[in-house]
Amino acid sequence: MTRSLVTGGAGFLGSHLVDRLLARGDEVVALDNFYTGRRENLAHLADRPRFTLVEHDVTAPLPRQGAMSGRFDRIFHLACPASPPAYQRDPIYTTKISFLGTLHALERAKEDGARLLQASTSEVYGDPEEHPQRESYRGAVNTLGPRACYDEGKRVAESLCMDFRRQHGVDARLVRIFNTYGPRMDPNDGRVVSNFIVQALAGKPITMFGDGLQTRSFCYVDDLLTGFLALMDHADEHGPVNLGNDGEFTMRELADLVLELTASRSQIELRERPADDPMQRRPDLTRARTRLGFEHTVPLRTGLERTIAYFRALIAEGGKVIAQGPPRESRPYDSRTQKESL
């Protein structure tokens, strides 16, 4: 039986990954401090055999007691706030998560002899001057801007993975994630898909930044995780590998489709484009296709229908949904008590 650790396991991607790993027979430990992850995402696994949820902040060394004792075969390192409102509300903490969290995950991989997957991001390409973006492209990132805590944090995390490979022989693998969406997205995290859907369902204005002609490529969560597992199962591919969907849509096209699928009468409201917001974002998937046999299978319309159904059900169940509301207050790690300070 493969024993897997998922850091950030209560998050949007992490919780879906836990489901996939359990379905294929792994013993799984999910680790999260609930800074952006949600217990509700794993509530359906409360009594599931071979699954344990551990509350811990990855900016501290990973514990060696309880469910965290023994060795792991695989470590999926996903712990990090991923939406701009979430990672910008405490940028110093975001940088600490990217550096220290990755360091601690790599140290555990070294000790256990585990294979590690680092969840990197298309944000390492910045506001790209190459389109679509290939893995060989080094990016155009503003190191002084408000997004740098995340963009540069993920870049240094990639550097750490490569140094642990060269210096310690750790089998670290890099995946660069492009915009991903689906059920269990936090309705209040400020990402474009969840924002548009929540606003449309509430009948509130669809807030669009700039002129709405910025483009993104949207990948449904199931397709992304298929790529994760293909990379981790591959005999010798270490990446970096782009994963996502190479269909390209403007923000206006996305908004129009959401309005159609929700039958909403919400109006589009233009706002100033944020600093360093990329104008174009689309992955070159050549490496993923040739090395991993990866292909996205869920069209945007289908994926949005499933995601809208999730948010409708959340609202019907009395879930707290705030159209473009601020994220919950940060709870930084307190090294004196090794607990989260409220």
Active site residues: 150
Could you tell me if 340 and 57 are in contact, meaning their C-beta atoms sit under 8 angstroms apart? Answer: yes
What per-residue string of b and e applies to 65-100 under the rule 16 or more CB within 10 Å gives b?
eebbeeebebbbbbbbbbbbbbbbbbeebbbbbbbb
Q: Which of 265, 80, 268, 114 is nearest to 192 (CA)?
A: 268
Distance set, CA 299 to CA 219, 220, 279 (Å):
8, 8, 22
Sheet holding 74-77, edge to edge: 51-55, 27-32, 3-7, 74-77, 115-121, 172-177, 241-243
Could you tell me if 148 and 140 are in contact, meaning their C-beta atoms sit under 8 angstroms apart? Answer: no
Q: Cα(99)–Cα(59) distance, rounded to whole angstroms?
A: 8
Could you tell me if 242 and 135 are in contact, meaning their C-beta atoms sit under 8 angstroms apart? Answer: yes
**How many C-beta atoms lie closer than 10 Å to residue 173's C-beta?**
21
Those residues whose C-beta lies under 8 Å from the C-beta of residue 194, and which sit 6 or more positions away, are 181, 185, 186, 187, 188, 307, 311
Phi, psi dihedral angles at 320 (to 5 degrees): -80, 110
- Written as one string, the DSSP assignment of 180-224 is EE-TT--TTS--HHHHHHHHHHHT--EEEETTS--EE--EEHHHH
